[in-house]
Structure 1
Amino acid sequence: MPPEPPRPQTRVVPVYCSDALHPVHCAVWGAANTGPTAIILHGFLQNGRECDHLAAALAAAGWRVFCPDFPGHGRSAWLRDGEYRFTTYAATIATMLAVADRPDIHLVARSMGGVVAMRMAGQAGIPLGSLTLVDVAVQWPPDAVAYHSSLLPKEMEFANPMAAAEAVRLLVSDRGPISFKGMREVLEYSMTRTRDGRIRFRCDPRLRTSIRFLDMQRGDKDRSDSWRAIEVPTLLVRGGRSIMLTADTADRMIAMNPRAELLTLADAGHPPWLRRPAEVAPIVAWLGRQALAARQRLRAGGV
């Protein structure tokens, strides 16, 4: 009989942002493992549980994996002022790096989380062994931003379970194929019930009017300089039919950074689910190679 898959532990970490300490919820996979450490960052309006399949596969391979919910997302606290900025998410990542407490952390970041991670990864002193960016471009195309904005929920709270399910289905409709069971899991981690029995998204509705989101809609900034500054091995994962990270942009990014490799996942959009073994296995294998190389570099450096 195959062993039961590992299950995450819950940890709450205080993160300082918006001039206050805010409780950030984090799922920790393989907490007792002594192998390498990864931090996986989710996308906009989602939470750390969207990374369950990759995190479970890494934990089964001996990794310790942290999957935080950014402030305003998932089970983490909402900011009092509702001003979700780049610094909000950067503070979360910096705190998680400190909590993980390793000199060679492997950062895996999806979509919005990847934008923040890209800008941080090129900074001096950040303790990274590698970086994996899942469907993250140096600049989002305006037409793609407009299309994905049209998928965002118009309402965040519902009396009717069918209406709630349809809102989630639309939000994730570009990602790729998913089974009925898989969609049930997505609904479970995406939604919660209020005290009066209504169903709402598990995030702060003010995120849709946050400064970071409105800035992106007005005209996304070019992050090419940040991308060039990354000096650790980097895996750029692209959904084969993604319009947010086009094939041309991905090829240009690989040409811009000699430390980067490209993995294209067929029949996936933005961002790929990373639920199917064919999607998870190559990332786990790549990370395994980078973990070994990072340990060798540390030993050579006397750390």
Structure 2
Amino acid sequence: MTVTSPALHTAAGTATPRQRFVQCASPGGLHRVAYTEWGDPANPRVLVCVHGLTRSGRDFDRLAASFSDRYRVICPDVVGRGLSSWLNVPNYYAVPHYVADMVTLIARLDVEKVDWFGTSMGGLIGLGLAGLPGSPIGKLLLNDVGPHLEPAAVKRIGDYLGKPMQFETLQQGIDYAALLAQSFGPLTPEEWREINTPLLQERDGAWYFRYDPRIGQPFAAITDEVAAAGEAALWGALKAIQGPVLVVRGEKSDLLSRETVEKMIAEGNKVSSVEIPGVGHAPAFLSAEQIGIARRFFIGPGADAS
């Protein structure tokens, strides 16, 4: 299903995204995953961009517009977020299920290989998929995330995750989302409005976040033993990846430590890193300078942001 909507036109460039959906399956039934598609739909060179825990694929509008000259760019709303369905069984809001959805999405794209840009949760999904035998992922950019997550940051996220919020106006919702994401960097009011508006929807005269608040249930239920097993699996996945991996860290990140980045470089095969000054978790990749980091990694030296 393809929909082209004026609401999806952006000021980031002349490229216009297409709103699409793919049907996926879980033990709890069928659900739809929404995604925006940029660039030539026949281009076999595909970049998949996957967002953070409570965000949406529209976080990548500027980056996708920039890359659409070289790539077909796919920006999904992970199930339970954005325009995607909510799951009938909230226990399936976890990385293994998200990986399965992305396998279905890539099959829909009818390509053998993709490159992957993953922010926070989107990076964990990419890491899990890239470490599987026969993985379709070539180059992998991990935006401020790695196998080890600092416990204080995980607690900070858990303190607000899943709490029902209601706003009288769209601007109130935009401002609250900006407060939660202030470590993204010193963004302008226009930039906050650009990336936060898609997170909100109006119902009966009030504004609400689009994500399913039940995504917080499996997050809150994680025990120390489960967390340790998950971290071990992610380190194993990193070691299995043969393609290039770029770890981007925000200088002030409380989720991804420098020590973890150093360990990733030491234990991975082709892992390099970049640290972005003045930002925390996670760099927003709205500026030409940050987009240029991604273009040089995926496209090559001299590939400045367009």
> How far 1:236 sits from its partner (Å)?
1.0
Counterpart of 2:80 in structure 1 is 72
CA distance in 2, matches of 1:35, 1:214: 40
1:235 equivalent to 2:246? Answer: yes
1:256 pairs with 2:267: yes
| Overall identity of the aligned pairs, in % | 28
Contact persistence 1:142–1:219 (CA under 8 A): no
**In 2, Cα distance between equivalents of 1:199 and 1:3:** 26
- For the structure 1 residues 31 and 16, does the alpha-carbon distance in structure 2 shift closer, same or farther, using more than 3 Å as the test? farther
Structure 1 window deviating more from structure 2 (258-267 vs 149-158): it is 149-158
Q: Secondary structure at the match of 2:205?
A: coil
CA RMSD of aligned residues (A): 2.3
Q: Distance in 1 between matches of 2:227 and 2:41?
A: 44
Find the partner of 2:63 among 51, 54, 71: 54
Letter of the structure 1 residue corresponding to residue 112 of structure 2: P
Runs of 4+ displaced beyond 6 Å: none
For residues 34-45 of structure 1, what are the structure 2 equivalents within 5 Å?
A: 34=43, 36-45=45-54
Shift of 1:29: 0.6
Aligned residues: 286
Report the Cα offset of residue 76 of structure 1. Answer: 0.3
Q: Does 1:63 align with 2:71?
A: yes
- Alpha-carbon distance change, 125 to 153 in structure 1, aligned in 2, over 3 angstroms: closer
Runs of 5+ consecutive residues of structure 1 not aligned to the other structure: 291-303
Whether 2:5 is the aligned partner of 1:20: answer no
Distance 1:71 1:27 in 2: 14
In the superposition, the TM-score normalised over structure 1's length comes to 0.87
Q: Aligned with 1:145: secondary structure?
A: helix
The correspondence of residues 256-295 of structure 1 with structure 2, limited to 5 A, is: 256-289=267-300
Matched, 1:206 2:214: yes
Task: Compute the displacement of 1:233 (Å).
Answer: 1.1
Deviations 1:243-295 (A, max 9, x none): 111112111111111311112111121111010111001211210139xxxxx
Give deviations 1:192-239, integer Å, cap 9, x for gaps: 111x11100011111122x14532788453221121111111111111
Normalised by the length of structure 2, the TM-score is 0.86
> Is contact 1:18-1:79 (8 Å) kept?
no
Report the Cα distance in structure 1 between the residues aligned to 2:209 and 2:13, rounded to whole angstroms.
30
Tell me the distance in 1 between the aligned counterparts of 2:161 and 2:176: 8
How far did residue 121 of structure 1 move? 0.8
Give the equivalent residue in structure 2 for 1:135: 144
**What per-residue deviation string (whole Å, max 9, x for no partner) do you get for residues 78-119 of structure 1?**
112233122321122111221222222101111112112212
Structure 2's unaligned 5+ residue stretches are 1-10, 302-306
